[in-house]
Amino acid sequence: MDLKLIPAQPKLGLVNILVEIPAGSKNKYEFDRNMQSFTLEKVLHTSVHYPYDYGFIPNTIAEDGDPLDGMVIMDQPTFPGCIIASRPIGMLEIIDGKKYDQKILCIPDKDVRFDYVKSLNDIDTHRLDEIAEFFRTYTNLEKKTTKILGWKNIEAVSSLIQKCIRNN
């Protein structure tokens, strides 16, 4: 899979998320650029599972040196390698180990059930708490700590995405 062929932004207001891990999975897959394939990085040590489809925005570089992470709220999981044109609505800022990290939260552009969602304000607070709790606890049994810094709304996301595209 040639990631250079996948635009970070298919059009203004959208990003492409390349799914690595489908919702409900305890398997942590990663795209290996050298092998041009998905590999199993690990099986989560805790009893939690990924709450939504999780992956990254191709052709971006975030502050941690990796592509910008993204998660798409979906009713049904997709599969590793699926590209989802998505509307960013906010981001979760965390310290993962000792590294600052951002997780962009998105809505699928092709699902009319989410047309009303424009920002984090349109998502139930409990759902946002569940997502944050997943990231807080998914590495506990590995003796790693994750600190949740909090949610930022869409205004902060737009400038971050542009910066990460320029960093590529």
Residues placed in the known binding site for substrate:
28, 54, 138
Bind-site residues for Mg(2+): 64, 69, 101
Among candidate residues 10, 127, 113, the one with its CA nearest the CA of residue 58: 10
Taking phi over 0 as left and psi of -120 to 50 as alpha, with beta for the rest, 109 belongs to alpha
Give long-range contacts, CB 8 A cutoff, 24+ apart: 116-120: 117/73, 117/87, 117/89, 118/89, 118/154, 119/89, 119/90, 119/153, 119/154, 120/89, 120/90, 120/151, 120/153, 120/154
